[in-house]
Amino acid sequence: MIRNVVFLILFGVNVLAAQAAPIKMAITVDDLPVHGSMPEGESRLEIAEKMLKAFEKHNLKGVYGFINAKNVDEMPETFKILKLWKDKGQFLANHTYSHISIQKISSQQYIQDILKNEVTLKKLATEQEYKFFRYPFLREGETVEKRETVREFLKQNHYQIAQVTVDFDDWYYNEPYAECKDLKAKTCVQFLKDSYLEFARTKLKESLSLSKELFGRDIKHILLLHIGAFNAEMMDDLLKTYKKMGVEFIPLQEAVNDPIYKIDSKFVAPKSLTFLEQIQKMGKN
């Protein structure tokens, strides 16, 4: 009887310990230096400063920002944003020059768009640092030939794909936020804030559940965000929310060491799916 009680106590402790294990997740930010609409009176630089201040408050260093240098060439003043990002201890990587969807151009044109982005990256980052690649719209190709051609280029040029396992469509909130803010509609803004955090919680829970379904364990997750005005406004609250859920923020370099990121889903379609969703589709084919 006593042995059984002791077993139950120890088992209970182990269960609690397992439940208390942190959710490891890397934060990544797409579309530097410019993304989405802004409320009147704000600037692109102020948006970046606000986001970086939140990272600093939560002691986050080495957060990867994926850049589209076309915006820098068209708006040279935004180069300051990339420099500020680096000055604050964060990293930069490749998101193609023009943020074009892969199905709209040939594989060779797409590769040239990746290479063109390197011109700006080389001014700010070492090759070892910037050799992460994020597909715009998370689309890897609508044909096998196109997908494999680009992947072979990335491999030969020592790029590692920065996959995404947690995505809550944060970009969607920028337009309505700018409109509500300009109209001074406080109720509208508060609704967006509440909805944003609730959706962030929901999508993280879905990703945690899916990773356990696919791999039988918690993986090292990669979160997709954008450098929009509303994300900057919400970043401190978002990071607090995730911490309350048990998230421990880790560098992207640590996250991609999880063995799951060596899997090639072979997913071919003009769709935007997270890495977990791609693998789920692979299992059903």
CA distance 198 to 271: 25
Tokens of 265: 């889903």
d(CA 170, CA 196): 7
Q: What is the pLDDT of residue 50?
A: 97
**Which two structure tokens, joined as six digits, stand for 185?**
């509609």
**pTM above 0.85?**
yes
Q: How far is Cα 8 from Cα 62, in angstroms, rounded to an integer?
A: 43
Residues whose CB is less than 8 angstroms from the CB of residue 134 and which lie 6 or more positions away in sequence, other chains included: 28, 30, 66, 93, 94, 95, 161, 162, 164
Return the SS3 of 243: helix
Domain spans in the chain, listed from the N-terminal domain onward: 23-284
Measured distance between the N- and C-terminal CA atoms of the chain, rounded to whole angstroms: 51
pLDDT at 7: 36
Residue 135 CA to residue 94 CA, distance in Å, equals 9
Pick the closest to residue 87 from 117, 61, 118, 68 (CA basis): 61
Q: What is the fold of 23-284?
A: TIM Barrel (3.20.20)
pLDDT of the residue at 284: 65
For 209, the token pair is 């559940």
Residue 104 near residue 89, CB atoms below 8 Å: no
Closest C-alpha to 71, from 83, 62, 85, 82: 82
Could you tell me the CA-to-CA distances from 221 to 7, 21, 30, 48 in Å, in that order?
33, 14, 16, 24
CA angle centred on 147, ends 114 and 113, rounded to 5°: 15
Residue 269 has a pLDDT of: 87
Q: Return phi, psi of residue 225, to 5°.
A: -130, 175
Residue by residue, pLDDT tens for the chain (285 residues) are 434 433 333 344 443 334 568 999 999 999 999 999 999 999 999 999 999 999 999 999 999 999 999 999 999 999 999 999 999 999 999 999 999 999 999 999 999 999 999 999 999 999 999 999 999 999 999 999 999 999 999 999 999 999 999 999 999 999 999 999 999 999 999 999 999 999 999 999 999 999 999 999 999 999 999 999 999 999 999 999 999 999 999 999 999 999 999 999 999 988 899 999 999 998 665
- Residue with structure tokens 């409320």? 39
Axis-axis angle for helices 174-182, 229-244 (nearest 10):
110
Q: How far apart are CA 247 and CA 242, in angstroms?
A: 5
Strand residue runs (E) in 19-176:
23-32, 64-67, 91-94, 132-133, 160-161
- Strand-strand pairing, 247-249 and 132-133: unpaired
